[in-house]
Amino acid sequence: MSAIGSGLSSALRHRRLAGVLWLSIVASALVAFLPLRSATEILDSGPFRESLVKGWDSWGVLSLLVVRRHEIGLVVAAFLGAAVFFGLLQVFLTGGTLRVLISGEPRRVFARVVAESAVLFKANLWATARFALSSLFWLGLLVVLPCAGLQKLAKHAPPHGGAATTLFWWALLGGLLVLFNTGLRFDLARIALARGDARNARGAFRVAKQRLSGRRASGIRLLLFWLALFVLVQALFTGAGLWMNPRTNGAVAMLFLFRQAGFFLLAMVRVGFWATLLAWEERRRANYSVMGRASGGATWNASAPISASAPASAFPETGSSVTTNGSALLSS
Amino acid sequence: MKTRLVCLFAALFFTAPAAALDRPRKIVDYSIEVSLDQDRKTVDGRETLKWTNPSDVPVAELRFHLYWNAFRNDRSTFFKESGGHLRDDEADTEKGWGYTDVTSMKWDGDELVKGARFESPDDGNPDDRTVLVVPLPRPVAPGETATLAITWKAKVPKVYARAGYVRDFFMFGQWFPQIGVYEPKGRRRRTDSGWNCHQYHANSEFYADWGDYRVRITLPEKFVVGSAGALVDSKRAGGLKTLTYEQKSIHNFAFTADPRYLVVEDVFDPAKDIPAGEIARASRTLGRSEADLLAGFRKVAIRLYLQPDHRAFDRRHIEAQKWALAWTGLWAFPYPYAQISIVDTPEDGTGATGMEYETIYTTLSLKWMSHWPFTRLFVPETVTIHEFTHGYWMGLLASNEFEESWMDEGINTFTEMVMVDRKYGAYVVVPPGIGITSEESNRVSALTQDHDPILADSWKYATENSYGRNSYPQPGITIQQIRNLLGEETFWRAFRGYAERWRFDHPTSEDFFDAMRAPGNSHVAALIPKTWYGRGWLDFSILDVSTRPDDGFTGFDDADKPVNFDPDPKKKPKKKPDEKKHKGPWQSLVVASRDGDIELPADIVLTFKDGQTVKRTWDGASGWIKYRVTSSSPLVKAEVDPEHRTVLDRNPWNNAKVTKEYEGPSAARKARVYGFHLVQILLSSLWAIL
């Protein structure tokens, strides 16, 4: 089975895990709910109630943004707070999510995700900081510096000329390429931590580098596939949600449920992405686990369930120790 | 009866303007020769100015605007006021300075420059060089024409405020020594004759006399030139070309040069380009026959000087231009010139963008607006409409923008709102079809506290923002308020009457007010001093609303007999009847309020549970009004100004209140669900990174 096929199959199998990720979005969004509730109370007593129930009232919305700007400011601040909370929660949950996928056991997920995440949180936090720094460094070196240089050279050139166009596309595509690369290495580093191939972020990034060596394009292709699927699901559900434009309280409740289904699907996409990357990494592991092979260390056949070769778990009853894997020996 | 007579008089007055001019009074005649050194960004110029003293008193000195001295150094009034930042552009304080130096000025063989001096009539700034005062060896007699031979040299500033260069794009606006306006007694309600020649301020534009221009421009052959006039002669020699332009009956002359321009030519043909529906609407509203309205229209040549990276905008600007020619022709008067030139400025020269001159103006194109999902941001169209229509409220009705900036910008904002919203339905539309109208985008200004009246000298507002607010949206919205008070027919007849009366002339604020007051609406008359001369505001609101079952008489009657209750303290009081089962009647109370010092009438609409509505018109004279209503159905909602006709209302969100009997679906719940989803969309997008 291909890595993507393995990911799709895991996305369907690990619905409970997707449920945990969906819950993390709901919980984070709740941070913004109270200010949102307070700022929107006026909608039911004001003159725009009927028109807003029917759809868009441009004057109603525009004037609300001005006359209730303090409340709107609070809502925006709450949005930012929710984003920070969600970011930390994802850094926390990724370790547990990967461990559950590696174990291949789709049940009793919530408690395991939390417990495994707690074990890996510190290392994952460092890995995130390392990812942020390396992204900034490479963006600065490969995107900002060349762009600034080109901008200086083309200072007296007309707008949208050859230099400006090159600059724009270099900034966009170069920036994306850098982020894909650093992002992929970050993801593989977290996999290394979850598998126990490394004990800290530094070692994990070293393992990730080995995994990526010579196969970056293949890794980025996988990433793009799941990104495209993610954007598609997001666009479809957002478009449908706007199109629904509910006009009764019952229809509003239906909209809420419908959109949650959409976010659940996105969570499944997230699970599928991780499973795909695990499968892909497993094949790379075979190439580099010389010591592993020599010492008879387990390597995972991508067509087999992930659990068949998953070596690591913080739960004693799930099996093997983190140090039994050959590649772990190689990197640590 | 008296009111009717006033209205009849007003109607007669507007349909037959008493002193409208067929052509402007010619005061100046310029014949200018100018050559551009493209590399050094310098200009050498010669001009022959014929100036006629329009007053009945002799004039002993002349006054000239040297506008480019605003960019001479950081001591100029313009630079001090702007801080080197204006129109979303920054001054280049290393190499971008510019100036105008008059090297010679002769009258009848006498050199006048030696005795000339700079004055700063507005702020006394000793370092400002934008007003040159030239004493004369003898006064110019009333009606006499003085012919002056002037030579000057100038350095073109790097553009950040209207005129200047960026790379090899040049915009020449207010670029030559231009004589100020000597206003005779009676002009613009003056009580005595005198000069009106202000310094160049960051927040001011211009004012000049009417006349004829003949301009000969010499510059490298590669340049494409667009100008205010018609090209009458062209010669080429030694890699240079000399182009001669002429234009009669204007009060300024601007031109542009850029080797990269693509020239798009089109013709406005009244027979094809005026929408039939708009002609019918104008005819009906103005009470004139369609033939009468179309009589003055003529074909107009349109030339669009487009930047090569803005090709996608050509039809957008041309269509907007044609619509503006059609609309202004119907609702003001037909455009009298043979051509109009639209200059599309480069995106690194935004300081030159969106500026009006006569028969030529600069518009805005931003390349990103040519790509989905931004193609329905009608900003380029709006700028084209806005800048062209300046040609009416600044150009053809030549108001004094130094002293009454609202007369140009404010009236123009009002007409822009009408034109943009009628043509495009919205000012901006973003996916999935969410739009905001031009009127709404301007109405926002009425929602916040103001620091100045509308009417003030342009450099005397508290801040640049206050100048902007009181020159553009605030007067635009206040005129819209007048329109709502007068009604469509009365307003547009008064509006067109104003335009026709003051065409080719110099109106003042009071001339506009006279036109608006003439129909005899007392609210309009009261509104003008509160807004143009004061910082008036108002806020309608529903203070209180309640409804309860009317159980009839309860208590002791005149014979001390208990009715509907048992006075025995030992007995349990009767259980209160369930309000939901109450069949009626109902007693309701509504209190509406008007805060602020502007008094305007408003409708108050009471809506009952059975769907019936009751409308009452409140004159708004008192601070509040209370309604007690007995009805067969409970009151569910009370709303003041439900049609949002009071566009000056500072807070529309307190204009309604509902009672507990209201059972409609919740807008708040819907907004919360969409808001919650928005947060979830943003959060889930972080998965792409984390």
CA–CA distance, B258 with B618 (Å, rounded to integer): 60
A227 touching B, CB under 8 A?
A: yes
Using pLDDT thresholds of 50, 70 and 90, give the confidence band for residue A300: very low
Mean pLDDT value across chain A = 86
What's the pLDDT at B42? Answer: 98
A257 touching B, CB under 8 A?
A: no
What's the pLDDT at A221? Answer: 95
β-pairing, B300-306 vs B339-344, is parallel
Using pLDDT thresholds of 50, 70 and 90, give the confidence band for residue A331: very low
The answer to whether B434 contacts A58, with C-beta atoms less than 8 Å apart, is yes
Token pair for B641: 């100004």
Percent of chain A with pLDDT over 70: 86
* Ranges in chain B, pLDDT < 50: 1-17
The dihedral through the CA atoms of B419, B420, B423, B425 has a sign that is negative
A55 touching B, CB under 8 A?
A: no
Q: What are phi and psi of B618, to 5 degrees?
A: -105, 135
Report H helices in chain A.
3-13, 15-40, 42-45, 49-54, 58-67, 69-103, 109-139, 145-153, 162-169, 175-195, 201-212, 216-244, 249-288, 290-294, 326-331
Using pLDDT thresholds of 50, 70 and 90, give the confidence band for residue A288: low
Which positions ≥6 away from B115 have C-beta within 8 Å?
B134, B135
The answer to whether B685 contacts A82, with C-beta atoms less than 8 Å apart, is no
ipTM of this predicted structure: 0.87
Q: What are phi and psi of B224, to 5 degrees?
A: -100, 130
- Who has greater pLDDT, A312 or B99? B99
CA–CA distance, B220 with A263 (Å, rounded to integer): 63
Q: Which of A268, A237, A267 is nearest to A255 (CA)?
A: A237
**In the A/B pair of chains, how many CB contacts fall below 8 A?**
175
Going through B116-239 in order, the beta strands assigned E by DSSP cover 117-118, 131-140, 145-155, 164-166, 169-172, 178-179, 181-183, 194-196, 211-220, 224-227, 230-237
Token pair for B6: 């006033």
The answer to whether A49 contacts B667, with C-beta atoms less than 8 Å apart, is yes
pLDDT of residue A169 exceeding 80, the answer is: yes
Nearest Cα of chain B lies from the Cα of A137 at a distance, in angstroms, of: 16
The answer to whether A249 contacts B669, with C-beta atoms less than 8 Å apart, is yes
What's the pLDDT at A292? Answer: 38
Contacts of A59 in chain B (CB under 8 A): 437, 440, 443, 644, 652
- Altogether, the residues listed in chain A come to a count of 332
pLDDT of residue A298 exceeding 80, the answer is: no
The dihedral through the CA atoms of B61, B66, B70, B75 has a sign that is negative
Using pLDDT thresholds of 50, 70 and 90, give the confidence band for residue A287: low
DSSP state of B187: G
Using pLDDT thresholds of 50, 70 and 90, give the confidence band for residue A293: very low
CA–CA distance, A252 with A237 (Å, rounded to integer): 15
Listing DSSP states for A74-133 in one string gives HHHHHHHHHHHHHHHHHHHHHHHHHHHHHHT--SSHHHHHHHHHHHHHHHHHHHHHHHHH
Mutate to test the interface with B, among A56, A66, A94 (most CBs of B within 10 A): A66
pLDDT of residue A327 exceeding 50, the answer is: no
Nearest Cα of chain A lies from the Cα of B649 at a distance, in angstroms, of: 11
What's the pLDDT at A289? Answer: 47
Task: Judge contact between B471 and B405, C-beta under 8 A.
Answer: yes
Helix or strand run (H / E) with residue B412: helix B405-424
CA–CA distance, B73 with B65 (Å, rounded to integer): 17
Task: Judge contact between B176 and B152, C-beta under 8 A.
Answer: yes
A94 touching B, CB under 8 A?
A: yes
